[in-house]
Structures are given as C-alpha cells and as structure tokens.
Structure 1
C-alpha cells in the first residue's frame, strides 16, 4: 500500500516536471522570437503627403530619383513601387531606399519626354497596406502610361479571410480562458472535467489555427495577391516584421501554456503551476495589441496595456458565461450553485468594469474627436459596438439581480436563458470587433494630412457583367481622388476595354461632369474631379469589358 502511494506520488511529480519542462521550451521559443524582433518606430495607416516631382507637375528634365514622403514611417513590399515611362517600360532603376517616412526611388534621368506613372504599395507599422498612384511629366504631358505589373490591391477574398481569422482567434481565446479559469477556481470536485476540457482544447486549437492563418494571410494581404499567392520570401518578410514576431511569440506562449493546461483539465493543480499559467496567459494577451492598431497609436504603451486589459476582460467574462450556460447551470446542484454564482457575479462585474474602462480609454485614443465618431467607418463601427454592448449590460444586470435575490440557485433556468441571450449578442460584438481591428482608426481617417479636409466614401456596385468597387477621397467639396476596381462575378480582376464616369448634382442644376480616368492596371483606374458644391451627387459608371459587352451602374454619394 505504501509502495503504491509512493509510486503515485512519483508519477504526479514526474508529470508536473514534464509540464514545467514543456512550458520552459515554449517560453524559450517566445524569447528567441523577441530577440529576433526588428526595432520599428510606431506609426499607423501612413498617407502620402508629398512627392518630388510633385503629383501632376511638369518638369523640364528627367529627375534622377522620385522621392515619396509619407505621414509616418513605412516598410517595403518587394516589387510594389514602380515608375512607368511614357512608352510603358520601367523607368525605375534598382531597389528603392526606405528611411523612416521617406522613400527614394532611383529613376533613369535619360528617359523620354512625356507623362510618367508612379505606383506604390507600402506597409504601415500596424501591418496594414497603403497603396496609390500619381503622375508627373517631363517636358510636356502625354497620354498616360498603363502599369502592366501586378495589382496593387488586396484580393477581397483575402480581406474577408483576414477578418474571419481574427474572429476565430477571439472565439478561441474565450473558449480557452473560460474553462481554464472555472476549472481552476470554481469547478465542483464531484463533477467530471471531460466536457470543459474538450471545450478548452477546442479553444486552444482555434487560437493556434487563427494565429497560423493570420501569418499565412498577411503575405497576400500586404503584397496584394490571392489566397495561395504566398512565397518563401514573402513569408520571411512577414515573420521578420513586428507583426510576425508578435504571432511567433504567441505561438511559443501557447505551446508553453498547453503543457500546463493539460494537468489542469485533468484535475486540480498546485498553486505554482496556476501562477505560471496565469503569467503565460497574461503575456500572450499582449501579442494581440502588439500586432495591431494599439502598437501604432499616439500613445503606444498606454494603448497596448489598455487593449490587453480589454481583451483579457472579454475572455474572462464571456468564457465564464459559456461555462455557466453549457455546464455549471446544468450539472451543479443547488448547494453548489449557491456558492458559485455569487463569486462569479463579482468576477463578472469586475471584468465588465475593466472592459468599459479600457474600451473608453482606447476609444478616446483611436477616435480623437467626437466628429470622427459619425464621419468615419471606424467611428460608426465603434458606435455599433457600444450599442450592442449596452444591450448585453442590460441582460447581465437582469442576471445579476436574480443572483442577488438568491433565486438563481433554486431556479437556474431564467439565468441560463439570460446568459444565452448575452452570448448571442456578444457573438455579433466579436464580429464587429474583427472588422474594427482591420479598419483605419478614426484618428487617421479623419486627420488633415495635406491641408485639405479629408473623408472617405467606398461602395461596391453590381451589374450582370461585373462588380465595381468605388472609392472617393475625401468625398467633400473641392478636389477628389477616385479609384475604380472591376471584378468578375467570381471575385477575380475583370479586364476592362473602356471606362467612362460622370458626376452630376441635379438639385443644384449641375449637369453631368466627365471624369478623366487614368488606367493603372487592366481592372483599376484612377481619376481626379473637382466637386464645386455639397449635396447628393449622382455618379454614373459605364464599363465595357469586350467589343459588345458593357453595363452601366450608378451611385448616389453624399458630398460634404
């Protein structure tokens, strides 16, 4: 008997030693990734503020270089900065140099007279691509050349896949944190841990899958290709960036945590293992803001900490709700629920308070002005998230009142129904959040970068032949830049034989104005138009895809 007890003790000690060894290996992976991380200054959603030669300028002789100056520091996307000569050949020579916000492109000064096209695609510090184009002329203007290189815009399928991966990562995080927290502190000893353990492993798997998917998708998202347009060099560039480093650190920390959650999912663990697991989880939370907007905010240290608190509070609250709804309210008896629910109610209140405080601080940093809340996509998404969150708080208040009246333990059905309503609404909130982290922050979208009022309008118009993505910036009185992208019905770039666009303001008696369009690729054109008055402008686009096939689509655009 004594020998059996000793063997059991040795086996438990061996398992704990193995778990800690595995956690140490995972931590070493994270540390190596941190040591290899590049030092990059903070910036966000860079905007081209000036160029030399200036856009649309006519210079007497060919320059030896084209200089692009952005509002913030940027990183290179290989092969995505091009200067096209009037005859359609490449005028740039050698690789462009990057020094903070300034990009210098060597150009052949002996090129011919005429109009040159400069197209660019770079990466801002928060991992989002920034692209555009402009022209300048040597001697005198000529017909604009066409860039026959690869498309400078991300595939819509890739953009959607990135948002889906973000959503799965958030869902996996709460499914991992909820079981780990409840099993460590609130789970009755008499109940089996098999169900919560399966849920926790599923959550860990989702986070791992989402992290790997984000690393893979970041390559075509930044370079501008399809789902399978991933090369070794492109993947190497992503892994060598701050974005890639944050994801590698996350993978290392998750690997370390996996060795410690295994004994937790099997039974109670010691205090030391619990503390180590909590520290690993807290460190992993910081990898989300370090790979997104917070790391590039005006106050990066504050934003990163606040966003990590926001994310952790969400995972604790929603993960705990899942455990209550799926397991505890169904399996625990009245005596156990009477002990568990008051404790959980206090924890949930603290998590919600932290969530509100962190969200308020982050919103103030990212939005900057009240006007940006309604004038930018980021602000409107944030308002939608706030509205949904208010609904969740109302339902949570009802659940808390049941716990305070001490009726929840005797009649758990009303609490369980309320929790399912909370989870249904928060599933939508997570979807809004996944879009929010991929949207230009209001502080940047609403900034006056070049001394002109800025805004943005984008929509997708459909016809039987194609879908047309329309982007108008700043969608205000005065000069506006327009970009048109044509796609086939299966979301592939649609070659266009001829483009035509007009704008009219019938309410002010302004007849249709022809918009001159400059082809950048076979499915992408840009144009400049001066809109003299505010109002509901009627835009009309005619796209001919072959000698006999063409279709016209229209859009009403509010101009401020």
Structure 2
C-alpha cells in the first residue's frame, strides 16, 4: 500500500475542496432564480377573462397563507395609469384587494408580490378586461427576475456560512465534552467553537439584512428601514432574533465546557439551548410550510443536529486528535467515535428520508423538478461519504486506525470535504421551490386565445375566441361605432365553417349580455383555419357582416 504523506493529504484535500467549491458555485447559479414557494391557484376575475362590469375587488387565491408586502400589489389601467386601491387584506389563503370604481374599458394588469410561509417571495401578474380586451399595459420598472441575482446568491452563500458555523460549534463542543483526552491542549478545538459562534452570529445578522431586499425584489443595498422592520415583524425575523439570543446564552455557558470543568447540569443546559438554536433553522425554511409542520420541524432539527455533529467531529479528528493523540488514546477514541458517528449517520439518513418524502411529494418530482435533481445530487454525495466512512470504520474494526493515523486522517479529511459539499447543496436546496410545490403548480397552458378587430362601414367588432382549439370554445363579441364608442346592437348572428374540411356552416348561439357585448359557445370538431362570419343588425335597415379566419389547433 502506498505510503500516506502530509503532502498527499493536503493535495487530496485541495482537489476535493476545489471540486466542492466549483459544484457549489455552479449549483448556486443554476438554482438561484427559483424562489417562489407557494402557488397562485386562481384569481377573481380570472386571469385573461373579460367582464362586463369593473370588479369592486380582486381576489388572489394561493396554495397556502401568505404575508403582504406594503405597496407591492398594483393594478394598472389600460391607459397605463395606476388604479387607486383600498387596503389589501389576507383571508385564509386569499388576498383580497379592494378596487375603486373605474370607467375605462380595456385590459387591466394586476401585479403582485407577497411572502410565502417559508419566507420566500411569490410574485407575478395577471390581466383581466372590462368590456373588451385591449393591448395589455406595462408595469413601470418591472423586472423579469423575481429576485435580484446578487441577492439570491448572497442568500445561498450566507446559508452556507451559517451551516459552517453550526458545524464548528456542535462538533468540537461535543468532542470536547465526551472524547477529548485530558492531557491534550483544548486551545485548537476551543478556537473552532469561537469561530463557529462568530460565523453563526454574522450569518444571522446578514440574514436579517438580506431578507429585506429578498422580500421586496430590490437590489442588495436598496432596502429601507421600513423593509427591515417588516422582516423583524415576521416569523422569519422572530426565529433569527431567538437564534441570536441562544447564541449569546451559549457563549456564556460554553466557557466551563471549553475550560474542561463543565458539570452535568452545564451540559444538560447547553444541550437544551443547542436544540432550541438548531430548531430556528427549521422555522426559517421549508419545514414551517410543509403539510405536517410539527413533524417537519422536529425531523429537520434532528437532520441539522446529526449533520453538524458528524461533520464537526470529523474536523476535530482530522485537525487535532489523529495528529496529536497517542496510539493508546486513539485506541479508545476511535471506536467510541465510530459508534457516535454511526448513530449520527442513522439519524441523518432517517430524518433525510422523511424530509424527502414530505418535500418531494409525487415520486416523479424527484427527476422532473429542480429541487428533486438537487436532492439526487445530495444523495450521491452522501453515498460517497458513507462509502469513505465505511473504509474508516474498517480501519477502526481492524484496530489499524490508531497504528496508521495517516491513512485514517486521509479518510476523515475526504469525509469532511465531501460533507462540506453536502452542506453547500443543502444551502441551495433551502432556497429552491420544494418538489411538492412545483409539482402542484397549475399547468401552464400553451393554448392562446384568438383576438382580432374587424371593421365594416357601420361598426367595429372586437372578437375573442377562447381557447381557439379543437373542442369547446367561447366566443366574445364587442361592438363599437366608427368613433370607438359602444354600439347598440339589435340582433347578433354568427356562423363557423371549415372550408378545407368540407364542414358546413355551424350556427353559434349568441346571448346578448349588454347592448354591445354578446357571448356564445361552440364545439369545433376539427383543427384547421375556420371561417367565422358575424352579422350585426343595428336597426331595421342597418345591417352588415364581417368575416374572420380563426386558426384552430
């Protein structure tokens, strides 16, 4: 067997570290645009619909309760001017937006941005038309991205920093409490714990700051104090404040442990604080919005705790114990560590399996959604780590770990570095729409309505055929005089024929909804270019017909 030297160890660590960092950056760039974690299930008026009277309120129905962002629901009139709105309110999963009375006919744009239960922004727009469709207005300064790329990247990187800090606190602290030889200096492991506390503190403060532009869709440095206050008032902000409180308390109570004279009561209190602190990661992520939030919060906390101990313990082993402990000491430490690590891995896998079942939803979401593909990548990395861990356990069982600490250290470094990659993927996963949510999103139809404007010597006619496809279709007709004012119609007549298919003219039964608006339904049995003929009688002697060719697919 080739001799394991420090140079080889460092070279392997550098290569693995580079691969993990590159994978993290690539995955982060690919996953950053997806951030909406709640679905818009429906609206009233319906998206793309035509109503005869202006609505008094607009209702947006989501798949879960959402939180409003001040001034982030806008209605734009056909002339591009904003429509005055009342105070929006949340009623269960509905967002109700009162609308002041308007008289302008045409297409209105409704733009919305709210926050889902798991603290992620949900945004988009719908349109509806009053009287007749028109060219949809544009929302001023509307960005194509739901979240600024720099903000999305900052969120994922900061999540990773927080996880890294947790690893450096939990793993070394537990190792100092139960597996640290008395004769060895505790300085190195103690520094890791203080560094971890610092990373958690910094990441928590940064999370509060970045959440503001993340919620509002602004740039990284564009959030106002009002935006920050909204973050503090949310469940997300409360969880972060609790985390900071736990962090301060833990910093005070860790001193006896780090000095080597912690009592049993000190350890129990620290354990309780640790559980409380680690649960805050569950309250700022997917778990709080899962179908079974209580179970998900507990399971995710177990998952985080097991990962933090396993990775942190590996860092202590590779950095200190395998380098400084004697062969006799390693003979005691390594079997005990192997048992602790096996317990952590079992908890990690069981909790991970439960979380995956909850968050993935239907099995096909595992390979058809971004979340599922990221989860598959994480599973592959974990499988690699378990294989390396199996090699480490083999060395321990054969009592070779203590006598060949170089080989053991190489395996432990490989475990720790690949697990750092698992943390990186996890940091991206918590920013990615869960598979259950993406799979449950209403399908995006590739069908488009047919809209055209026809003109005769007597009138203008706006025609909408919805959805302009084979099968059942709805026809809307809006009549205007040559000056564009609503035109009263005494009688409406319409037929549809498919010349190339030798289908005879089919009458379209029409119902007059208003003086200038008629509605009809027709079932078109075949695809092709259908000829629709509309005859409007305006008076006893004034009548004219217009024809439109409507492609049906």
SS for the counterpart of 2:380 is helix
Q: Deviations over 1:131-189 (max 9, x none)?
A: 11111111122222111156472211000100001001111101111211111111111
Q: Is the 8 A contact 1:184 1:268 kept in 2?
A: no
Q: 1:91 aligns with which of 74, 83, 97?
A: 83
Map of 1:378 onto structure 2: 371
- 5 Å-filtered alignment, 1:146-545, equals 146-148=138-140, 151=143, 153-447=146-440, 449-450=441-442, 454=443, 474=444, 478-479=446-447
Q: Is the 8 A contact 2:86 2:100 kept in 1?
A: no
Partner Cα distance (2:353, 2:249) in 1: 33
Map of 2:42 onto structure 1: 50
Q: Deviations over 1:188-220 (max 9, x none)?
A: 111111111111100111111111111111110
Map of 1:80 onto structure 2: 72
Map of 2:538 onto structure 1: none
Partner Cα distance (1:353, 1:49) in 2: 39
Partner Cα distance (1:48, 1:164) in 2: 28
TM-score if structure 2 supplies the norm length? 0.73
Distance 1:479 1:425, change over 3 A: farther
Partner Cα distance (1:336, 1:215) in 2: 44
Pair 1:69 & 2:49 matched:
no
Q: Deviations over 1:235-258 (max 9, x none)?
A: 111111111111111111111000
Deviation at 1:341, TM superposition (A): 0.8
Partner Cα distance (1:266, 1:304) in 2: 33
Q: Which has the larger radius of gyration?
A: 2
SS for the counterpart of 1:286 is helix
Q: Is the 8 A contact 1:84 1:92 kept in 2?
A: no
Distance 1:381 1:480, change over 3 A: farther
- How many residue pairs match? The answer is 413
TM-score if structure 1 supplies the norm length? 0.72
Partner Cα distance (1:140, 1:413) in 2: 78
Map of 1:512 onto structure 2: none
Partner Cα distance (1:255, 1:224) in 2: 32
Q: Is the 8 A contact 1:85 1:112 kept in 2?
A: yes
SS for the counterpart of 1:260 is helix
Map of 2:492 onto structure 1: none
Map of 2:471 onto structure 1: none
Q: Where in structure 1 do 4 or more consecutive aligned residues deviate above 6 Å?
A: none
Map of 1:118 onto structure 2: 110
Q: Is the 8 A contact 1:309 1:355 kept in 2?
A: yes
Partner Cα distance (1:239, 1:312) in 2: 26
Partner Cα distance (2:162, 2:115) in 1: 23
SS for the counterpart of 2:364 is helix
Deviation at 1:266, TM superposition (A): 2.2
Map of 2:92 onto structure 1: 100
Deviation at 1:304, TM superposition (A): 0.6
Deviation at 1:479, TM superposition (A): 3.9
